[in-house]
Structure 1
Amino acid sequence: MEKYNVELDKSTAKYLQIYNHIKSMICKKQIKEHEKLPPIRKLSQLINVNNTTIVKVYELLENEGYVYKVIGSGTFASVTNSDKEEIIIKKEGIIHFDSGNPSTDIFPIEDFKSAVNMALSKEGSSIFEYDEGLGFEDLRDKIVKYLRGKEIKTTKDNIQIISGAQQGIDIVCKGLINYSDVVFVEEPTYNGAIQVFKSRGAKIISIPMLDDGIDIGILKLKLEKIKPKIIYTMPNFQNPTGISYSTYKKKKLIELAEEYDFYIVEDDFISDFKFESHDNKPLKSYDDKNRVIYIKSFSKILMPGLRIGIVEIPNELLKKVLWAKYSSDISTPGLIQKSMYYYMEYFNWDDYLSSVEKIYAQKYSIAKRLIEEKLQGKLKVRKSNGGINFFLELPRGYLSQDFTKFMLDKGVAMLPGTYFFDNAIDDRFFRINIAKSSIQDLEKGISIISDNLDGFLNLYKNNSKIKSNKLFY
C-alpha cells in the first residue's frame, strides 16, 4: 500500500501527479498485471486527497488502458501498451483476423493522388486555412446528394464533417451527455464507443442482440424504468456480430425513441453494400421523428488513414454538436476535406463503391462457407447476412482470451469477445474480421483454426479464469 503514496506539490494538479505516479508503477511492473489497486477511500486517505480526486485518477487510467474495472471487485492493472506492441512485433507474418481496416490493395491511390493535386491547384493556399464550423460547403453539398441515394433526406446545414467516426461519437457525447446520464448500448458492441461513454461519466446499460437486431422486449422493459439520453446502435452488419436489424425493428426503434424521448446514435460503417441483406437501408432513412443522429464513416469503404466522416444532426442539437467539434480540433483538415470532394466529384465514386462491394461480397461469401464447413458443429456461429465480421462461440468451460492467445501462437490473430462487452464476463466469444485478409489468407487462417481447435479444447478444458475485458494485443 505504501508504494502508492506520493508527495504532492502545488505546481501541477493533484490528480495528474497521482495518475503519473500510478501509471509509472504499472509501466515499470512495480504494479503487476491484474494486480488489484487500492480502494478509492483507502487511497484518498493515504495521500490525503478527496475521494473525487482518486475517482478522476482511476477514470483517466482506465480511459488510457492502464487499468480495468470489474464491478463488485475493484480496479485492476491492465497489460501496458509497451507489452501490447512487443507482442505484435514478435508476431510478424501472422494472418490478421483482428484488424477491421480494409486491405490496402483496394485503396484508390492514383485517383486520390490526382484528387489531392486537383484540390491544391484549384483551391490554392486557402486549402490550409480553417474551414467553417460545419466543414467545406461543396463537400457537404456532395454528401447531401450521396445520402439521398441512401434515402436520407437532409440539407448541407445539418451535415458536420468530422475526423472519423470515433470523433463523431465523441462530439455527440460532449454535446449531449453529462455525468451520470444513461446510455443504452447493444450487447455486444464497439469498444471505442463504450470508452467514450465512460469518459463522460455515463451509466451504460446493455441490451442483448437477437438475430434480427436488438431485443425489443428487453429494451421496452428497461425503458419503462429508466430514461436514457441516447441509445448507440449499428443497425446494419453490426460490429462485432454482423447482425442486421429487420425493417420492423428499425421502425420500432424510432417509435420508441419518440415515445420515451431519447435520441438514437446510428453508427453506419458499411451499409453501402447489400451482401445477403433484405434491408441495408440506414436507420436514418426511416427517421420521420427526427430522432436519429447519423454518423457515417468512410474508413471501411475508402482509406481509414484519411480520418474523415460525417454526422447528420437534428436541428435542435446542431449548436451543441458544432461547439463540441470546435472544442475538439476546430475543424477537419481542409486538405482532406477538399481532396475528398474532388475525388467524389470527378473520379467515379459510384463505380468505386461497386468495385469494393464486389470484393467484400466475395470475401464474405467465401468466409461464410469456410466457417460453416470447418467450424460449425464444434463452435456456434452467430447468424448474419453480410458485413466484415463473424462472431463465434466456444463450448461452455472455455474462455476466448485463452483461445485467441492459443491461436496467435499458431499464426492467426483474432479479437476475444471480452473486448466488446461493457463488463468482464465468463466470455466464450471471439470475432473474425475479414476486411484485411486476402482470399488465400481466409482459406489458410480458417483452416488453421479448424486444424488446431481440438488441440485447444483438450488442453484448456475447465482450466481458465476470467482476467479482463481489455484488449491484450
Structure 2
Amino acid sequence: MHIELKRGSSTKLYVQIALTLADRIRSGLIEPGARLPSVRKMTTDLGVSLVTVSKAYAELEAIQLITCSQGKGCYVRGAQELEKSEDMERTHRIQAKNESSTPWNWQMALVDYLPRAQLWRHFDASPQVRYELHMSAIQPELLPTREIIDSAYRLSSDLPERMAAYGSFQGDRELRQTFSGHFAERGLRVMPERMLITSGAQQGIDLVARTFVGPGDVVYMEAPSYTGAIDVFTSRGAKIITVPMDDDGMRIDLLTRLCDTYPPKLIYTIPTFHNPTGITMSAKRRAQLLNLAQSYHCLILEDDPFADLYFRDPPPASIKSMDGTGHVIYIKSFSKVLSPGCRVACAVADGSVLTRLVAAKSTADLGSPLLTQKALQSFIQHQYSAYTARLRDELYSRLLAASTVLEEHGSPGMYWTLPDGGLNLWLQLPDGLDMRELHRQSLAAGVSFLPGSACYVGETDTASLRICFTVTNQELLCEGLRVLCRVIKNITPQQGGATADRLPLI
C-alpha cells in the first residue's frame, strides 16, 4: 500500500504511518481479519527504521484497531470476534488458510492511493437494519420521481435526436438558463456562461480538488465536516486543518490566526444548514470569510445542498452572491432535493477558474448525461418552488417529532440543537461513551446512524452522531429513535483505560 510520508513535517513518521493505516482500516479498505505487512516489510517499503514501524503498530494496537501476536503478525480486529482473545487463534488460522487458497490474494501486492474512504464505508446499511437513519436523504415517497420519469419518457420519445448526440461539456444550456433564474430569485445573479453542470455535488468537489489541490496544499474545513469532502481532500494529499464552530458557524477569528501560520490554498465550507451539525453561518461571518479569502488570494468552495429546505425564514444570502473578484466556487446540488439517481448539481465560478474546471470535467466524463439534465429542467422551471414549499412543511414536522422522542427517551447529558433547515440532527452524547460499542449494538438492534468520528480529520473518538430525520417515514423514525435511546442507556461510559492517553488516530 502507498503511504505518503512527509519527512519534513512536525508530525513524527510513526504517527503519520499510524494515521494512514487507521483511516484505511476504518474505511474498510483493509478488511477485518486482514494481516498487515510485517514490520520488516513495512520498514523496507517505506524506508524507515524498525522502531518507527513498531511504534506505529503499537499505537494501532493501543486504540484496538489491530491485534498483534509474537510470531504470528498483526491483524485488523473484526467487529466482534477479534475482540475476544479466545477467538484470535481461530481467526488467524482462517486468515492463513484464506491467504493460501483465494485466487485473488495476489491483489494485496498492488499499490493503491486511497488513504481514506469513509463515505463509502457508511453509505449502505447492513441487511439487518430496519431503521436507516445514517443516510442524509429524503424519503423516496416524498420526491417527484413520477413527474421526472414522465418527463424523461416524453423527451426520449418525442425528441430522440437529442439523445443521439453528446451534450456540452459545460452542461445543457437550457438547464443553465433555468438555474440562472432560480439563483436570481435567491440573490445570486449569474449568467449561464458562468456555470458548469456536474454529476452531483460530490463530483463538483472532486473536480475542484483535482484541479486546484495538490500534495501539501493547505485546505481549511469546519470541524466536523462532510465526510465525502474529507475523503476527497485527503486523497489529494492536502494538509487539512479544521476550524471549530459555534452557533454562528466557522470561527473566523481562529481561522484568521491559523492562516497567518499556514496560508490557505482553499477553504471548504457548508455555510447553510451545515452537514452534519445543521448550523447556519451568519451573514457577518460570510462577509468576513470572503474578506479573508481575498486577502490571502485563495479559493472558497461553498457547498450548498440544503438552502431551499428552510423551515421558517430563508437563510442568509450565499457567499458567492457577495463575490465580485472570483474567489468563490459555489456548488448547488439538486440531487437530494429532487432525485438522488439523477445526480445533477451546478457549479458557479468565474474567469480561468471556471475554464479549468470545465477542462477537468471534460477529461472526467465528457459531460453529464443529457437525458437527466433535460428531465429535471422542466420541473425546476415550473414546479420546483411549490414542491419545495410543501416539502419543507413535511420535513419540519418530522424534525419536531424526532425532537419530541429524544426529549422523552434521551439520556442525561444528551443534547442537540434544532436546525433551521436541512435533513440532519447532530446529537452530542455523554462524555466517555464507548462509541464503537454503541455503533455495534445499535446496528444489532436494527438502527443505523453516522458516527461523529467519520466527520472529523485526525481526531480522537467523539461522543457524537448524526441522524437523518427525513430518510424514512415519521412512524419508523420515531420507533428507530426510541430503540437508539434504549441502546444508548445500555452503554457504560468508559473509565479512562489504556487508550485514554494515546494518540488521536481518528
**TM-score, length-scaled by structure 1:** 0.80
1:314-353 residue CA offsets vs partner (Å, 9 max, x unmatched): 223111101111111110011111112233345x222122
Which residue of 423, 435, 457 maps to 1:388? 423
Aligned equivalents of 1:342 and 1:278: distance in 2? 24
Counterpart AA for 2:44:
K
Query: Which SS does the other structure have where 2:341 is aligned?
Result: helix
Aligned to 2:131: 95
User: Bigger shift: 192-201 or 276-285?
Assistant: 276-285
Matched AA of 1:181: D
CA distance in 1, matches of 2:135, 2:235: 24
Contact 1:393–1:430 under 8 Å retained in 2: yes
In structure 2, what is the equivalent of residue 411 of structure 1? Answer: 446
Moved more, 442-451 or 97-106: 442-451
Measure how far apart 1:424 and its partner are. Answer: 4.0
Q: 1:41 to 1:453 in 2, by over 3 A?
A: closer
The secondary structure found in structure 1 opposite 2:214 is coil
C-alpha contact 2:244 2:250 (8 A) present in aligned 1:
yes
**Among 194, 197, 205, which residue is 1:158 paired with?**
194
The CA distance in 2 between the partners of 1:259 and 1:443, in whole Å, is 48
- Residue 438 of structure 1 pairs with residue 438 of structure 2: no
Cα deviation, residue 44, structure 1: 4.5
Letter in 2 for 1:60: Y
- Report the counterpart of residue 447 of structure 1 in structure 2: 482
C-alpha contact (below 8 Å) 1:271/1:280 kept by paired residues: no
CA contact (8 A) 1:128 1:334 kept: no
Distance 1:213 1:105, change over 3 A: same
1:216-261 deviations in whole A, cap 9, x for unaligned? 1111101112211110000011111111111111111111111222
Deviation at residue 61 of structure 1 after TM alignment: 4.1
Question: How many residue pairs align between the two structures?
Answer: 419
Gap change, CA 1:39 and 1:316, over 3 Å in 2: farther
Q: After TM superposition, give the deviation of residue 468 of structure 1 in Å.
A: 9.4
Aligned to 2:35: 31
- Residue 24 and residue 110 in structure 1: after superposition, are their counterparts in 2 closer, same or farther (change >3 A)? closer
The question of whether the paired residues in 2 share the 8 Å contact of 1:380 and 1:393 is answered with: yes
Name which of 39, 42, 45 aligns with 1:43: 45
Q: Give matches, 1:281-360, under 5 Å.
A: 281-346=317-382, 348-360=383-395
In structure 2, the CA distance between the partners of 1:468 and 1:360, relative to structure 1 (3 Å rule), is: farther
Root-mean-square deviation (CA, aligned residues, Å) is: 3.2
Alignment partners' CA distance in 2, 1:365 and 1:249: 28
Deviation (angstroms), 1:29: 3.8
Give how far 1:287 is off.
Answer: 2.8
Q: Is 1:268 aligned to 2:300, yes or no?
A: no
- What is the letter of the counterpart of residue 298 of structure 1? F
How far is the alpha carbon of 1:285 from its aligned partner?
2.6
**Correspondent of 1:107 among 137, 143, 148:** 143
Structure 1 residue ranges without an equivalent (≥5): 1-21, 47-55, 67-79
Structure 1 window deviating more from structure 2 (405-414 vs 324-333): it is 405-414
Structure 2 Cα separation of the partners of residues 384 and 84 of structure 1: 23
Indicate if the aligned counterparts of 1:182 and 1:227 stay in contact, CA closer than 8 A: yes
TM-score (normalizing by structure 2): 0.75
Q: Go from structure 1 to structure 2 and tell me whether the alpha carbon gap of 1:376 and 1:216 turns closer, same or farther (over 3 Å shift).
A: farther
Alpha-carbon spacing, 1:129–1:184, altered in 2? closer, same or farther (3 Å):
same
Deviations 1:147-202 (A, max 9, x none): 11111110100110100010000111122112211110110001111111122221
Q: Which residue of 1 aligns with 2:90?
A: none
Native 8 Å contact 2:117 2:231 kept in 1: no
Find 1:119's aligned residue among 130, 155, 161. 155
**Counterparts of 2:423 and 2:29, CA distance in 1:** 39
1:426 aligns with 2:464: no
* Cα distance in 1, alignment partners of residues 449 and 353 from structure 2: 38
SS in 2 for 1:266: strand
Matched with 2:407 is 372
Identity of aligned residues (%): 27
Q: Could you tell me how far 1:25 is from its partner in structure 2? A: 11
SS in 2 for 1:307: coil
Amino acid of the structure 2 residue aligned with 1:31: R
Q: Using the alignment, how far apart are the partners of 2:278 and 2:29 within structure 1?
A: 40
Which letter does structure 1 place at the counterpart of 2:177? Answer: D
Residues 65 and 396 (structure 1), Cα distance of their counterparts in 2 relative to 1, 3 Å cut: closer
Aligned partner letter, 1:189: S
Superposition deviation, residue 370 in structure 1: 2.9
Which deviates more, 103-112 or 238-247? 103-112
Partner of 2:115: 62
In structure 2, stretches of 5+ residues that fail to align are 1-24, 49-108
User: Superposition pairs for residues 199-278 of structure 1, below 5 Å?
Assistant: 199-276=235-312
